[in-house]
Every structure is written in structure tokens, then in C-alpha cells.
Structure 1
């Protein structure tokens, strides 16, 4: 009952998600336990298939294991698995005498994998502890082997209550690249034990490979059991790599931590019974999950009944609220009556909360922009304005466009996010022009900085070569991803922007990035075409941001279309190139950035990527970080939307890159004496004090 009361205050979607999460956890745990059992019916429980037809069916490779109570030091690994301690230290970059490893820290185990009786295996020799079992050994190795595989390798040995210091042969799961893989420069297949929360997308990002490659390799090796959408903990995944594994992105050891004083033998004795405890926990989890699911379903039904009963009352309240009035920024009260236009009724807040979006008069906007003076024109139909000490960006648009703005997203301050441009107000006139008033971004759009444009030409001295540094570019990537994470994962219901492009990403005075056109997804069709400064025949850049599935399903609206467009923005930031280049009048011979990066990354020539990078950066960037960012962008522009990472996974990857950034030195500086933030240049031209 206490659980039911605590769940009663949760939103309906959270109740459903909680119940679903418990259900999935219980099923995944049960599958994981079953795959390790001695009686497992999984087709590949004994190992990955191989042909056994030649020398290519053996290779040097690696398996990954996380430090646990069994293997808490290099000495433990070496002693209990018979692996050379110096080789372990070299593979992981540790001192050979390292006494302690932080719990769950990933470790690389160098292994020799070869084909034997139709199955790949890397055999190590395990020294047993009294009371251990085959199942416990498989569990301690996190699924790198199974009870069934150990039993097959050690016939005649009882799998339970093992004696002390027995020498068992343990076949670790492994595989070698196929002939096709070797032709594609595939060097090795890392044996990776799956843990709770792992997905194909985040593992591909962490190991700088593609989700498509991971799926292809594992589908070929274990077609019967591999399900990319639901990875099972305590099972193994093959990670295709083109070089030595880099586990720095998974965890970093605390080498300064004091050595543990807990006797290793005692930890092993406790672990020998852990499989029984784990079984009890799994069964308890399934029962608990079922209780939660039933409770959640009951509460959902109750809430729907209450909602239905209150619906009539809500209609009456909304009708009463129509008579409310709001104040304009000029302190004049604007009344709403039946005869006035429906557009203003949309702007009116129909709840008792304070209205955030203001109503500006045309007189105020004329004053702010000096009667829309051409000197205040930023780009297209957007003007700089200053009113009551506040800098504004005022966009001239059609009345119909204003009517499509989702004003309900701005009726509460909680919808404000630091990486999203705020809509401050509107002005609807009797004439053909109406206006949207936005928060002002002092350094213009990302498009201006990457590709030039009216804003750059009019606000900066032409002789100054201005560009974004590598540090600034990485932080901009993170800012935009954080804004998308808010829209896709935090807002309820989630919000799909539908118009992510460099033109709609703006930079404030500190070069923090903000996503523009938030709340205007329905206005996408009204968005004017990008300027074409290089040729009047260049196709619209907007096509370069469009995900392939949008051509087949025009009204398809999912977060994955934002991720595709974001990937194109990443490619613009890396290369300094436009989304589409090189087309003629008939749009023939065009090069799409989303396709170009696939060709570059398929090549094993690093110079090709270096030449593709924005020449403005020179050598002032980390090439390793550039490769990581290029692979991330490549994952975002996958043709199959299910293979693209989500915004949360992108943020996680970029946070690691930004954390590794060095402090910017003089080599990154731009000509600050000439390049001033846009607002300062405009203000100086207008004689406005800042």
C-alpha cells in the first residue's frame, strides 16, 4: 500500500514506464541467468561458430572484464586465470605491481583465439577455490564463458562444490575477423560482456565504430540469438575494431587509491554461493515487477475515471478564462472580446498562471528598430532592436505564421532552457506584416561563422579573418545536443524541433549555443530558403538536413529526424562546408555532407580526413577528437533511423570530449581588436551605449 501511495503522485507516463522497466529488467535478468546455466538451450552457449578452414581461424585479440571481488588486481587475474601479469599490465597501461583496481573498472585480457571443432575459443587455465561451481565461474567472468562451455571442456568433473586448486580449462568466448572483414581493414573483434543499460548505439560511440558494423558482425556470428534492440546482460557482444582497443572512454582508474586489505580468498568463498542469491533476487524481482505492473494499471484506470469526471468542469473554467485580459509591454491593458481575432486568443493564457509571452505594439517595435532601419537588419527579415534596456531580435513574418506558433510552450517559466532561444513576445498588426520578438544572440548564427553571410559581412570588419576555435566548436556541439536532450527526453510530451540547421543555432556573447525556432515546428514549411551566396542554382541547403525517411513519409515526426539534422550540423562544424555543394542548375553533381563522411571513414587513409577538415583550424585541434566526432556524426546520419544514437547518448559522448579539452592558449585566439560581438558593432553604429 505504501508503494501504491508513493506512485499515486506520479504522472501516468511515469507509472507506465516504471512498470515496463521492472518487467524488462526481470525478463533480461532471467535470460542472462539462463544463458549461463549448464543446461542452457541457447544455440551459441558453447561459443561462436567458425569454419575451421585455414590460418585465418586463429588470431590474437582481447576480451574485456570489469574488476570485481574475484578479480580486484592484476595479481588476481594472473594467478586465477593463468595469464602473464606483465602482459596484462602492458595491455592496460598499468604498473605491473598494481595492488588495487577500482570496482567495475574495465580491463583488457590479451587472448589467443582459435577455431576448434567448429567453435572459436580462447582457453585459459583456472585455479579453483573450494566450494566454487562452473556457474559461479561463468558469472564471475560476466558471461565471457558459460557453465555449459566449461562443462564441455572438462568432462567428468562435477560442476558443483569444486575442490581447492583444481586446474580447469575455461573457454573464453571470442572470434576472428572474416575474410570480408579483413578486406575492410577490420583488425580484431573485442569480446565485450554486456552489462545493464548497454545499447548498440552507446557501445558503438564508446569504441569509435558504427552501430551498423556491430550489428553486422554479431548477426553473422550468432544469428539465432542476437537481438540488437534488446541486449541481454551476462552475455557477450563482439565489437569490431580497426586497431588496439581504447577503453579510456569507459572508465579511468584511480591509481592513487590505497590498496585493499580484504583477503581475496574470503571474497571468493562468498562468491561461490552468489549464484543462489542471484537466483532468489531474480525471482523476487519478477514478483515485485508483477506487483508494480498491477498497481500501476489500477492507478491508471482510477486516474482516467477522475479525469473524465473533471472534464466538464475544465471546459467551464476555460470558457470563464476567455474574459481575462493581459497587459502589453507598454502597460496598456488589452481586452479580449468575441469580435477580436482568434490569434490573440491563442496568445492569451487560459490558466491562472502568469503569461510569459508579451504583446508588443507596432509603435514600440518601430522605436526599438529606428523604424526598421536597414542599419539594424541582421539577415533576411530579422532586425536588431533595443527596448527598455533589453536587446531584441525582431522577425518580420506573416500573420498566418504567427498563428502556428505553439504558445502553450511559453506559458510557464519551466520551459525555459539555457540552450534554447526564448520567444519573448509578438506583435500582430492589421496590415500584411506581423512580428515575433526573440531573445537576442549577440554573436549571430552558427551559419554566419561557418559559411559567412550578411550578418558577418555587415557587423565585422571585412579584413578580419574570423573563425571558431576547436574548443568553441566542441562546446557548441555539446550545447546543441543538450538542448535536444531537453526536448526529446525531459519535456512531457516530448518535442521534435523538425528544423535543426546551422542557420537556427545562435551564439551568445560567450559563444554558448542556443537552438532557435523552438515552438515553431508547425512553421517549418513557411521558413524561407537559405541564402545562396555562391550560386543561384545551388539547391536549398534545407534538403541536406532532411533524413531519408522524410522523403518516403512526409509527415513522419520522430526525434530521429532531429538527430539526422544534428549530425549534418556536426559535419558542417568539422569541415566548414555547406550541407550540399557543387550542384548545377538541375541539381546534378551535388555532394551531400551526410554521404561524403561515409566515404571518408571507410577509407583507411587518415590524410583524407585531415584534408576534409576546416582549413581555418590549421593544426590547432586534436585529430583523435576529430575522428571521434566524425564517427559520432556518421552514426547520426545513418540511413536507418533505428541505428542513430539518441540525444542522451550524444551528450554523454561529447561530455567526455569536452572534459578532455586543454585550456585555450594564444594559438587559438582570433583578432579580437577587430572582431567584436554583433551587438557591440551594431550599437556602435547606432551610437547606443553598451
Structure 2
């Protein structure tokens, strides 16, 4: 009789211990697993955060970095299943607000348990060439994972994602544990980690405590490493407000709309433009003559690296190529969007891209640069057609139409050369129709053989296939015959920024 009570006592003890453990335990940080789509290890929260809080449902907060077309209150609220009124209130903006690209937006959501995991349920309609990885990391920026998407859409595979299909998307959120509520922590914010972020800087940004944030994510002071395109839970006493995420704006650029009053001022303005693009360190007068002082390009021009079989046996890696493309896109975006009036370079090509000792790209040779004289979305005309063969957009060659979309087209050609390791003249000889060549790569959903043949063989297939196809798609959009169908450089910068973050995470996932 006495012996029979032991199992009951043991069960009672284990039940109490289990409840206590759940109330005190925090959520494991997802780590480097977000690009390893075949790994579904729930121990690191790759499928979502465990339902271990005091409440099975609560108000939580997500962060999201705006980008077209998800750059308005209504679009973000629809994408993330949030109330537009609450988004406008939390960010102190109107419901008609359009956010600048890459603005960090606070998104209030209803977080609830679904089985053993917390999540916000939303949906997404598949677009052409989408994959679970691209949806998770590019569209939702890490608020879900490819593993979670596969798990909750088990009737689909990456190869069966047809355009127009609506899928379920579980967004990562969590409710405070008993331990957290006893400390007065009433909310958890799901923060999207970006390059250069640290746990301490994220906590400070939202008025939280670094120790609380480390504990919330099961991280230690000895190993606080976090990675881009992952989420970090930030415990908060009070709801976050837009004022807490406002960053100091960059200094306004001087206007270039008025003609310089002297040749010295004219040269100074040119130097200022070049300097902001990283191509020059300044200017100097020697014996009455002005000279531009260029930063030393320790690694020469980009053409030296992508057209030759090797450079002392060294090849540009996938990440280096994407970083170079992003550097060039960022420089062009500055010319197009942050100078008044906008300027265009008109001679973007591999030989005009210089590489420093860290393989960071600098745009050089502004000899053909000019003002973009047309209004937004409009064109100006010229009869003086100049540029580099293969890089000039069709509307410019055929009709003399000038706009910032000329640089976008030339950038698409440059991106094509970066991916293939071939000069545009060689590519034209192999296939005169670039659209058909790119379409063949994008339509190959079976064994990626077309992609392997398309990419520079010197990379030895050491690149993430899905991200490579995404960059091919960006290239395709840049080379649209209709200039109005081409993306802006701001959109390209966003796409390449996300690609670089994903690529870095992919590279880390390959390391032990």
C-alpha cells in the first residue's frame, strides 16, 4: 500500500517541476539555422518559439523594415496580419503613411499558441520564382523560417510553389514567462537582427536591459553572438513607441541645382559627389592646377577579377561579388535619390569599378555623368549618344531617351558579368537574346543544371542556389526593355542587402 503511493508522488513532483521549468525557461535563440532548410531541429526554435508563457495569448510586437511594395501602413498591416490603426499609433504616423525604404516599423500583433508554439498566423500568395527560403528571408525578413513554412504547408515542396498559391505563414512571436512578468516585463518584441547589431545595442535601443535580453534568448555574456536575418526577443516593461526607433538622419546634401559661381566651386561640387561615392579622397591645387586625389585601388578594377581566369590563383567568392554589387548599387542610388537634382553616371561598367584592399567597390570615371533633367518617371532627350557598347539601354540607343533607368540597365549588365564571369560581348556571342538566356535559368526548377552552367565556374558552385536565382531575377528585371518596368536603385539596394545578409547566414551555416 505504501509502495503504491510512490508513482503518484513521482508524477506529482515531475508535473510541478515541469511547470516550474516552463515558467522560468526562456526561448532558445535560432542561431545559424535559418538558411539550412532541410534541418528541422525544434531545439533551437527554428519552427517557432515554445508556448511556455503565463498566457496562451497576448499582445506582442514585431519589427519590419519597409521596402516596396511593403512600405505603407496598409501593406505592412496586410502582410503581417496587424491592425493598421495600431501600426499608425505605435509609429506616430497616419494610416496613409508611406515609409522610406528600410525604415524600421513597429507592428503590434495578437500572439497565440498553436499547438506547442506561439505564432501570428498570416498568409502569402506565391509569386513567380518564389521559394520557401526567399519568402522567409526576403519577404518576411526572418520573421518566419523556411523550415516553419515547410512544416505548416506540408502539402507543398519548393518545386511545387506555383504562382497564385496561397500559403500559411507562421510569424515568430512569444508571450512573457512567469519569470519575466515577475520582473515587470509585460511584452516581448520580435526584433529583426541586421548586420552590425549587438544584443546590447538592440536592448539599449528599446530601453531594455542587456541581461534580460540575453536571458530571454537563452544567450550568455560569454557567447552573445547573433546573426543577420534572425530574430531576437526583446523584453519590455511598456509598449514600444516609434520615437524609440528613430535614428538620426544623415546630414542633408548640399543642393546642386544652382550653377557654381566659379570654376573652383564647380570642381569642389564634382569632388563632393565623387567623395560621397567613395571614389576619391578629395582635391588639391598644385602650381595653380586642380587635381583629384583618388583613393588607392589596391585590387585594381573589377574587370581584372571577373574576366580573367584567375588573379594569382584567387577568385572572388559569392559573398564578395554580392558585396561589390551592393556597393555599386548604393553609390548609384545616392546619385539618383540623394542629389538635387538627381544625377546619372551613364558609364557603369566593370572597368569603372575599382576595388580597395577589402574588395569594397568604388565607382570611378564620371566623364559622362549628367543631370537627370526629366521629372520623376519622365525622360529627357538627346541626340548625342555616347557610352560603352553592350551597356547602353535600348531606349537610349534607339530614341535618345535619358533617365536614371539608363544606369539601372547598365547595372543589370554589370550584375550579369559578375554572376557569369564573362564580358557582355562574350555573352552576346553565346546568346544574342539575354531575356531568353535568363528565362532558361529562372524556369529550371528540377536540377538547377541551367544555373550551374550560367554561373561563373570559378566559384565551384559554392553559392546558395536559391539566392543565386534570386539575383538572376534581379538582373532580369534590370534588363527589361521597357524602362518603366525596371526597378529603382533603391529597390535594388534593398534586394541586394537582404541577399548579402542571407548569404552571410548561409556561409555561417556551413561552418561548425
**Which TM-score tier does this pair reach, normalised by the shorter chain?**
0.3 to 0.5
Instruction: Provide TM-score, normalisation by structure 1.
Output: 0.31
What TM-score, normalized to structure 2?
A: 0.41
Greater RCO between the two (CA within 8 Å, min separation 6)? 2
